[in-house]
Homo-oligomer: A and B are copies of this chain.
Amino acid sequence: MASPSRQRAGAARYHTASQVLAVMSRRPGITRAELARELHLTSGFATEITARMRELRLLTEAAAPVRGRGRPTTVLQPHPEGPVVLAAELRQEDWQHAVVTVDGQPHDVRRQAHRSRRPATVLAAVRQTVAQARSRYGDRLRAVSLAVAGTVHDRRLVQAATLGWGAVDLSTITVDPSLPLLVGNDATLAGVAEARTGAATTAGTALHLIVEVGIGGTLTIDGTPVTGAHGAAGEYGHLPLGDRRRHCPCGARGCWDLDVDGRALARHLGEPAPADPRTYARQILDRAADDARARQAVTAVAQALATGIAGLTNMHDPHLVTLGGLGPAIRHTAPAAFEGAYTDGLMAFHRAQPPPVVDAAHGDDGPLRGAAIIGLDHITSEPALADWALARRSPSRRAGYPPA
């Protein structure tokens, strides 16, 4: 019985293989001996599982550089014919993509400016890249993972202020419907990157927040984002923490968004609302060193930011908060105001050991890295490996031989 007819959900097939690939992604270049220690594999089982995975073209082994005594071990590497993910990120001015192997390393990284910002044009470019990857990698390409600067609802983009888009269906970018498409909000995926490979690797429950135009983020639990029913969770900026009289483009009122970005700075400075709040905010932040009025505006924003973070801390009880985008700049321009408002906003019992608020480790790469991680999670899941093995084993080796 060569082709294992699908087993029960819950049967532990490919369980360890999936774990091995997860470790390879978390610690690229790990040796087989280290892997065995990390997963508590017996040496015999380590031999078996690596042999199996070599046969399935999931990894290769190369002689490891020796250090010290003992029999040399091998380094685990992605198989040259192994599965890959296409990770991509759509941003305001440009978009970038990379092909990622099971060790988490990006290949063929490219960044391209949008020729036009019209959805049809942008999506056509993405679709073309997917098609190219498909023809280059064939069925080695197992998933496409996309980070978008906007609100995602199922596979659709429902609102993208920075891109200036309305509702857009993204499911058209994979021509082949059998090629899984994963779509996530950029802030959510940046949070995943922080939790897995960034500033929050030691935190079980971590809150990541990014200030750009408004504020977004995600709660991660053991590296998995809390995405809600349709993937639209994490819209922290649309909590009504602010003045109920202010209308938000999202349709609600009093949104926190309006108190923490360039629009808020402009309001504090008595200037008209900026067309590009992010660039505007950067300018004000640059000026704040010398300009007392700018500094004062930033201070007010820092307080609004910290007060909200404190409230979210009360609510989520995270180990750690990571701050990205303009957040670190705002905070470090008015550190005392930030810390004061943060502490004041915490419930008393949190004040003994307030969850640290730290700067995010990944800069602009966060969303792309997060998309890659989510994509790898998908293609190294147990069912995905079962599919991979099925395609590689039973149907007459490699070529399209007729079944005799």
Contact = CB atoms under 8 A, between A and B. Distances in A.
Contacts of A172: none
Interface string A1-44: 00000001111100110010000000000000000000111000
Per assembly, the copies of the chain total 2
A145 interface: no
A253 B345 contact: yes
A365 to B, nearest CB: 26
A318 B241 CA distance: 20
Contact of A39 (B8, B159, B221): B8
Given A311-B240, A348-B250, A231 B9 contact: no
Give the size category of A's interface with B.
35 or more
Contacts of A12: 10-12, 15
B308 A240 contact: yes
A40 B9 contact: yes
Contacts of A219: 226
A312 interface: yes
Given A219-B226, A317-B233, A347 B251 contact: yes
B40 A8 contact: yes
13 contacts: A8-B39, A8-B41, A11-B12, A153-B349, A159-B348, A205-B228, A227-B317, A228-B316, A233-B315, A244-B307, A250-B314, A252-B311, A252-B347
Interface of A: 8-12, 15-16, 19, 39-41, 151, 153, 158-159, 167, 203-205, 219, 221, 226-236, 238-241, 244, 250-253, 307-308, 310-312, 314-319, 344-351, 355
Closest 10 CB pairs of A and B: A228-B317, A251-B348, A12-B12, A158-B349, A238-B314, A232-B317, A233-B317, A229-B319, A239-B311, A250-B347
